[in-house]
Amino acid sequence: MTEKLELAQNAVGRMVPAMVNGKPQIPYLGVGQFQPRGRKSAPPVRSSKHYPADGDKRVPDLETALRKCGLRDGMVISNHHHLRDGDRVALLALQAAARIGVKDLMWFPSASFPSQKGAIELMENGIIHHIEGSMNGPLGDYCTQGRMRGMGVLRSHGGRWQAIQDGDVHIDIAVIAAPTADSFGNADGSHGKSACGSLGFALADSTYADHVIVVTDNLVPFPCIPWQIQGNNVDFVVELDSIGDPAKIVSGTTQITRSPDRLRIAEYVARFLRETGIMRNGFSFQAGAGGIALAFVDYLRRMMKEDGVKARFVRGGSTKYLVEMLQEGLTDYILDGQTFDLDGVRSIAADPRHVATSPFTSYNYHGKGNFASMVDAVVLGATEVDVQFNANVVTHSDGRLLHGIGGWQNCLASRCAILAVPAFRDRIPVIVDQVTTLTGPGELIDVVVTERGIAINPRRQDLLDAVKNSALPIRPIQDIKAEVERICGGKPARPKLGDRPVAVVKWVDGTVLDTVWQVV
Amino acid sequence: MTDGQSTAEAGHYGKEVRSDLHVSVEPRDGGGLELNLESRVQLYYGEAILAQTRQVLASLGVKHAKIAIHDEGALPFVIAARLEAAAKRAALAAGKNALPDPASPAAPPTARDRLRRSRLYLPGSEPKYFINAGLHGPDAIILDLEDSVHHAEKDAARILVRNALRALDFGACERMVRINQLPLGLQDLAEIIPETPDVVLVPKVERPEQVGEVDRVIHELKSRHGIDRPIWIMPILESATGVENAFAIAAVSPLVCSVTIGLEDYTADLGVAKTAEGRESLYARTRLVNAARAAGVQAIDSVFGDVGDMDGLRRWGQGSRALGFEGMGCIHPAQIRVIHHAFAPSPVEVEKALKIVAAFEEAQQRGLAVVSLGSKMIDPPVVERARKLVARARQMGELSPP
């Protein structure tokens, strides 16, 4: 890092860098306090004159495509992560760039995965300057050890759209892995041997990047139906034998947790929704694909059947469990952001009530509203939560990067944001005095559900009133914390963090919420 | 190193191990303590683990040794137990122990005729299952020192279970320990009685004298340790002989609160297969119910072994209750709710019993000798049964208090 380190204190007292990768930053001002101005960013105007009239935009390989896009030193290359840990395209594109001989690229994936650890070598030999996007596993360690030249920038799915749309990040070349595409560049994720469901994360890249390359292993004659990615935004199409490892793109079946403690947490969450009356005809909810979330969906579904209640929509990450609810008539629609298992992939391909959404419709804070705030309840995880209900989802308690933010921050806009977490992991309490890395402000987190009790944010008197006569173990968050500290033999020591920022956590409006410090 | 002392270890570690630790103790003649710690929670509790280790070794009188610990996030009561077990295996610390801080407040004593619908078995060598067991709401938890503990682990499990009784809060659960068959079980008693379990389960009982001996040893240990709260005995009958002696066993001591049956061993003794219908054990089970009733104690059924078969469990529980059992064992928390439901009186039964009790109370008020409901006369035993059922339904939370 060449820039001089200058820190500013944001509205919640966190010290954040004033400059990140050469760009001035706005420290977090509070929920809804930052007012964006100006017009949206846009790609250059093109003419059909420069594209084949027969619509055939194929080129032989990625290297050719990158050259034709004018790849130069310092450019920004983006990828989506719908193929998850099975993705082959991102690394192939970066390696092709390495063969071309360019330096100092910024890699801008919507998320990175452990199988992409080859990016470390590309950073070591100067091809990639830094990564902006979630990092965990080997890439996360590389970043938190302070070995990356630039600073990591962690954004939510909605925040990534916001950054692209507002011009905070300008994508030079988007390389979009497509399970099905035609030679014009229309593309979709719901069919093909590498089918992954929705391609929503790539929509911003396809509409805002200067150049767009679609890479597919299932080329179909025009038209590719449906076309979530429109060929009119696409410069080149590259055919590969395989864009990814199907076994790692979707799981065969996502598994409900078998841990009695976690099942207990899941059941508490479902009962909470039932007893507060949130579970009612026409309601909506969102839960992820983690073990507790899946079990929650299973309990809620049984309760909905018992009470004869039907949801208007559920938000995916879709899994077999949501698909079954759709088929059983327990919900009218699945609004799907990403598709986690084979049942989800089959359903989104076949059932018009299973709809692919994007971060624009679901999560973008700098839009004319988004779906997240219209969801009645969302069930999320966290690594730590403090007594003010602030939560950390991106780092371990020791400061190492653990998870991307995903849609987590965006989902906090829900009418009832619930963290479903074990009270302690191994011996480490989850409820702490102060979170290591602030990812979500406590004013947006309404309920913390653990196996030892349910804590409701005192700001939500309405929820406290709703469960006043319930048999659920509603307890002050400090009580649960004190009990866990008794069990664990005292408060954990706070690990010492370094004084050098290695990444920043952006809030949904692009301001800087917190800093990830080098792990010493 | 003095005679008999050699390097010893206790506990478990590895990627799959949770909430436990492994310790090796190498006795030395001098040079003080050399501590070596690798812990999954090093950053957060590394110092605390080392401090506790020094404290535990001091109470055990271990002054010179090389100690290597692999910790997988063990809680303090486990750390103390594993250190003590390793030190004793190394022939250090004989006659000494290192007790963890007691749970506060201490669990209150339990009544002889308490509700005992479900008792959750917890293998005595697996601390990870202990910690949250009480949260799942069984009527009792059983810390097992017998069949779920490998023979080579009996000494370490005994110490671990002792510490768990002392340090863990099991909520409203009755705290039971299944000891080993006598005479090994006598060593278990010596270790655990000072930490006042509510019930001692005695396995493979065949003769009343065996219960008598346990009764005597419990009395001795209680008076030695100044304990005056009750510690009940639940004999487990697991053989044809045991079943034949059921009444004598149930009636031998006023400390017996209930008798139960172990069907795996019983069917093995008969040389028949154990089935989900249980016809092969019907005689033994009804005999046990009758003996228990005659002795004025509870009859408690065996466990249902198929954790995946909730319908089978429900049928078994309902059948059990119909035979006169008041509860059964469980081997997974998921079984608890099904069992409680199976042993609960049905709403129809409760409603009828309430009517009978109301008629009885009305007759009392009006000074009538005969209780009648509509045109039917109600016999005194029927009234008594109805009163018991209403009281039980209240205990089970199936009926709100009057």
Main-chain dihedrals φ then ψ at residue A384, nearest 5 degrees: -145, 150
Give me B157's structure tokens: 């499990």
Least confident of B57-61, B215-219, B338-342, B386-390: B386-390
Query: By percentage, how much of chain B surpasses pLDDT 70?
Result: 99
Taking an 8 Å cut-off on Cβ atoms, the answer to whether A488 and B18 are in contact is no
Side chain identity at residue A265, one-letter code: I
CA atoms of A222 and A503, how far apart (whole Å): 43
CA atoms of B220 and A458, how far apart (whole Å): 53
Main-chain dihedrals φ then ψ at residue A192, nearest 5 degrees: 100, 165
Taking an 8 Å cut-off on Cβ atoms, the answer to whether B44 and A397 are in contact is yes
Peptide bond into A316 cis (omega under 30): no
pLDDT for A207 beyond 80: yes
Give me A272's structure tokens: 């909470």
Task: Provide the pLDDT for residue B401.
Answer: 67
Give me B17's structure tokens: 């191990």
CB B98 within 8 A of CB B75: no
Could you tell me which chain B residue has the CA closest to the CA of A520? Answer: B43
Residue of A376 and B399 predicted with greater confidence: A376
Q: C-alpha angle A442/A413/A481, rounded to 5°?
A: 25
Query: How many other CB atoms are found less than 10 A from the CB of residue A465?
Result: 11
CA atoms of A490 and A483, how far apart (whole Å): 10
Mean pLDDT (chain B, rounded)? 94
Q: Which residue has the tokens 């990356």?
A: A148
Which residues are CB-neighbours of A62 under 8 A, at least 6 positions away?
A92, A93, A96, A175, A213, A215, A238, A240
Q: How far is CA A495 from CA A75, A142, A502, in A?
A: 37, 19, 17
Residues pairing with B123 in the sheet: B144
Contacts of A488 in chain B (CB under 8 A): 45, 75
Domain ranges in chain A are: 59-132+169-249, 260-497
Domain ranges in chain B are: 8-89, 118-343, 347-395
The distance between the two most distant Cα atoms of chain B, rounded to a whole number of Å, is 90
Which residues are CB-neighbours of A334 under 8 A, at least 6 positions away?
A313, A314, A315, A316, A318, A322, A323, A326, A347, A348, A353, A354, A355
Q: Identify which of B371, B319, B374 has the alpha carbon closest to the alpha carbon of residue B342.
A: B319
Question: What superfamily in CATH does domain A260-497 come from?
Answer: Glutaconate Coenzyme A-transferase (3.40.1080.10)
Q: Which residue has the tokens 């309760």?
A: A303
CA atoms of A220 and A483, how far apart (whole Å): 60
- Over residues B369-389, the mean pLDDT reads 85
DSSP letters spanning B106-122: PPPP--TT---SEEEEE
Helix, strand or coil for residue A292? helix
Q: What is the pLDDT of residues A32-78, one digit of tens each?
A: 999 999 999 999 999 999 999 999 999 999 999 999 999 999 999 99
Task: Provide the pLDDT for residue B4.
Answer: 61
Selected for mutation to probe chain A from B16, B41, B47, B77 (highest A CB count within 10 Å) is B41
Class of residue A53 by CB neighbours under 10 A (exposed 0-12, middle 13-18, buried 19+): exposed
Task: Provide the pLDDT for residue B185.
Answer: 97
CA atoms of B7 and B24, how far apart (whole Å): 7
pLDDT for A253 beyond 80: no
pLDDT for A3 beyond 80: no
Give me A218's structure tokens: 């299932």
CA atoms of A308 and A305, how far apart (whole Å): 5
Task: Provide the pLDDT for residue B105.
Answer: 80
Gap between the terminal Cα atoms of chain B: 69
Least confident of A274-283, B100-109, B117-126, B165-174: B100-109
Q: Is residue A308 within 8 angstroms of chain B, CB to CB?
A: no
Task: Provide the pLDDT for residue B346.
Answer: 86
CA atoms of B175 and B79, how far apart (whole Å): 21
CA atoms of B307 and B313, how far apart (whole Å): 8
Taking an 8 Å cut-off on Cβ atoms, the answer to whether B48 and A493 are in contact is yes
CA atoms of A321 and A282, how far apart (whole Å): 19
Confidence at A1, pLDDT banded by 50, 70, 90: very low
pTM of the model: 0.93
Taking an 8 Å cut-off on Cβ atoms, the answer to whether B44 and A428 are in contact is yes
The distance between the two most distant Cα atoms of chain A, rounded to a whole number of Å, is 73
Taking an 8 Å cut-off on Cβ atoms, the answer to whether B41 and A428 are in contact is yes
pLDDT for A418 beyond 50: yes
Q: Which residue has the tokens 């010893």?
A: B8
Taking an 8 Å cut-off on Cβ atoms, the answer to whether A489 and B132 are in contact is no
Residues pairing with B143 in the sheet: B122, B177
Is the fold of A59-132+169-249 the same as that of A260-497? yes
> Domain A59-132+169-249 adopts which CATH fold?
Glutaconate Coenzyme A-transferase (3.40.1080)
The domain B118-343: what is its CATH number? Answer: 3.20.20.60
Q: Identify which of A252, A406, A244 has the alpha carbon closest to the alpha carbon of residue A337.
A: A406
Q: What is the pLDDT of residues B71-101, one digit of tens each?
A: 999 999 999 999 999 999 999 988 999 999 9
Architecture of domain B8-89: 2-Layer Sandwich (3.30)
pLDDT for A2 beyond 80: no
Q: Identify which of B318, B305, B216, B221 has the alpha carbon closest to the alpha carbon of residue B264.
A: B305
Q: Identify which of B120, B160, B166, B164 has the alpha carbon closest to the alpha carbon of residue B142.
A: B120
pLDDT for B367 beyond 90: no
Q: What is the pLDDT of residues A128-181, one digit of tens each?
A: 999 999 998 899 999 999 999 999 999 999 999 999 999 999 999 999 999 999
Q: Identify which of A353, A462, A476 has the alpha carbon closest to the alpha carbon of residue A415.
A: A462
Q: Is residue B195 within 8 angstroms of chain A, CB to CB?
A: no
Query: Residues 220 to 279 of A: which have CB under 8 A from any B CB?
Result: 260-261, 263-264
Query: By percentage, how much of chain B surpasses pLDDT 90?
Result: 81
pLDDT for B396 beyond 50: yes
Taking an 8 Å cut-off on Cβ atoms, the answer to whether A493 and B46 are in contact is yes
Task: Provide the pLDDT for residue B165.
Answer: 97
CA atoms of A124 and A142, how far apart (whole Å): 10
Contacts of B137 in chain A (CB under 8 A): none
CB A199 within 8 A of CB A220: no
CA atoms of B186 and B207, how far apart (whole Å): 16
Q: Identify which of A376, A382, A316, A385 has the alpha carbon closest to the alpha carbon of residue A351.
A: A316
Task: Provide the pLDDT for residue B247.
Answer: 98
Confidence at A520, pLDDT banded by 50, 70, 90: confident
Provide ipTM, 2 decimals: 0.89
Taking an 8 Å cut-off on Cβ atoms, the answer to whether A426 and B72 are in contact is yes
Helix, strand or coil for residue B51? helix
Give me A174's structure tokens: 């988007």
Give me B393's structure tokens: 């339904």
Residues pairing with A27 in the sheet: A512
Q: Please name the residue ranges forming H helices in A180-290.
A: 203-208, 246-249, 260-276
pLDDT for B3 beyond 60: no
CA atoms of A232 and A68, how far apart (whole Å): 17
Query: How many other CB atoms are found less than 10 A from the CB of residue A26?
Result: 15
- Over residues B93-121, the mean pLDDT reads 91
Contacts of B74 in chain A (CB under 8 A): 427
Give me B315's structure tokens: 């049928």
Confidence at A186, pLDDT banded by 50, 70, 90: very high
Q: What is the pLDDT of residues B297-344, one digit of tens each?
A: 999 999 998 998 999 999 999 999 999 999 999 999 999 999 999 999
Task: Provide the pLDDT for residue A136.
Answer: 84
- Over residues A332-339, the mean pLDDT reads 94
